[in-house]
Amino acid sequence: MKWFQKQHIDRLSDSLGTASAGLILVICGLITVSVFMRYLLSAPYKHTEELSSYLLVAVVFFGLAYTLKERGHVRVELVVRHLPPSTRNALARVTASVGLIWAVVLLAGVATLWQKFLVGGGESFGLLHVALWIPVTPLVIGAIALLLQLIVEISRGGQPPE
C-alpha cells in the first residue's frame, strides 16, 4: 500500500490545515465585504451568514487531522508527564485507538448523511438553497483524514512526527 505512507498522510493533514487557514481568511473577507456593502453601499449581501456557516464547518473538519498531527488537541498531562516514556507511549496508542473507533463512527455517520443527500436530494433552508451534499462533503473529507492520521499516530507509538 504505497499510498498509505506516513509522509503522505502527514502531507494530507498539512494540506487540509492550510486549506482550513485559507478558509478562515475567506470567511474574514466575506464578512468584511458584507459589512462594506451594507454600511457604505446600502446593498447588503444576504448570503454571508449561510456561506460563513458552511465554511466554518469546513474549517473545523479540515483542521482535525492537522491538529492531531501537531499535538494541538486538548490534553491533560498532569499525571501522564510523570509516567515512564514506555508507559506514556502505550497510553498514547490506547487513546489513539479509542480515537480511531470514534473516527470510524464519525466517518460512518457523515458518509451516510452525505450519501443520503447525494442520492435523495435535499436543499438548505437558507436563501441559497444549496444541495446539502455540498456542505457535507468537507465533513467526509475531514473524517477520512482524521481516521488516517490516527492510524499513523498509532503506528508511531505516540511519538511526534520526524
Domain for residue 88, yes or no? Answer: yes
Q: What pLDDT, in 10s, does the model give residues 76-117?
A: 777 778 888 888 888 888 888 898 999 999 999 999 999 999
Q: Is residue 148 part of a domain?
A: yes
Q: Is residue 43 part of a domain?
A: yes
Count up the domains in the chain and report the number. Answer: 1
- How many Å apart are CA 145 and CA 149, to the nearest integer? 6
Domain with 139, as residue range(s), is 6-156
Phi, psi of 72 (to 5 degrees): -95, -10
Any domain includes 162: no
Q: Report pLDDT digits (tens) over 11-48.
A: 999 999 999 999 999 999 999 999 988 888 888 888 88
Residue at grid coordinates 487557514 = 21
Residue 128 lies in a domain: yes
Measure the N-to-C terminal CA separation of the chain; round to a whole number of Å. Answer: 21
Residue 105 lies in a domain: yes
Classify residue 1: in a domain, yes or no.
no
Q: How far is CA 76 from the centre of its chain?
A: 22
pTM of the predicted protein model: 0.85
Do 93 and 83 form a contact (C-beta atoms < 8 A)?
A: no
